[in-house]
Amino acid sequence: MSRIGRHNEAHLVARIGWLRAAVLGANDGIVSTASLIVGVAAAPGARPSEVMLAGIAGLVAGAMSMAAGEYVSVSSQSDTEEADLARERRELAADPEAEHAELAAIYQARGLEPATAREVARQLMAHDPLTAHARDELGISEVTAARPIQAALTSAATFSTGAAAPLVLAGLTPAGQTEPVVSIGSLIFLAVLGALGARTGGAGMLRAAARVTFWGALAMAATAGIGRLVGTAV
Contact 3, 131 (CB under 8 A): yes
Tell whether residue 99 is a contact of Zn ion (CB under 5 A): yes
Point out which span in 37-45, 108-116, 135-143, 158-166 binds Zn ion (CB under 5 A).
135-143
Beta bridge partners, 143, equal 6
Tell whether residue 100 is a contact of Zn ion (CB under 5 A): no
Considering the complex, what minimum distance in angstroms separates the CB of residue 84 from Zn ion? 10
Neighbouring C-alpha atoms within 13 Å toward the C-beta of 188: 8
Contact 231, 43 (CB under 8 A): yes
Residues 6+ apart with CB under 8 A from 92: 99, 129, 130, 133
Residue placing its CB nearer to Zn ion in the complex, 128 or 137: 137
Give the one residue of 11, 100, 133, 147 binding Zn ion; rule: CB under 5 A.
Answer: 133
Total of residues contacting Zn ion (CB under 5 A): 4
Residue placing its CB nearer to Zn ion in the complex, 11 or 133: 133
Contact 30, 158 (CB under 8 A): no
Tell whether residue 136 is a contact of Zn ion (CB under 5 A): no
Residue placing its CB nearer to Zn ion in the complex, 30 or 85: 85
Residue placing its CB nearer to Zn ion in the complex, 102 or 119: 102
Considering the complex, what minimum distance in angstroms separates the CB of residue 136 from Zn ion? 9
Considering the complex, what minimum distance in angstroms separates the CB of residue 141 from Zn ion? 15
Give the one residue of 9, 84, 119, 137 binding Zn ion; rule: CB under 5 A.
Answer: 137
C-beta atoms surrounding 76 within 10 Å: 12
Contact 13, 151 (CB under 8 A): yes
Q: Which residues of 55-71 are buried (b: 16+ CB within 10 A; e: fewer)?
A: bbebbeebbeebbeebb
Q: Which residues bind Zn ion (CB under 5 A)?
A: 99, 102, 133, 137
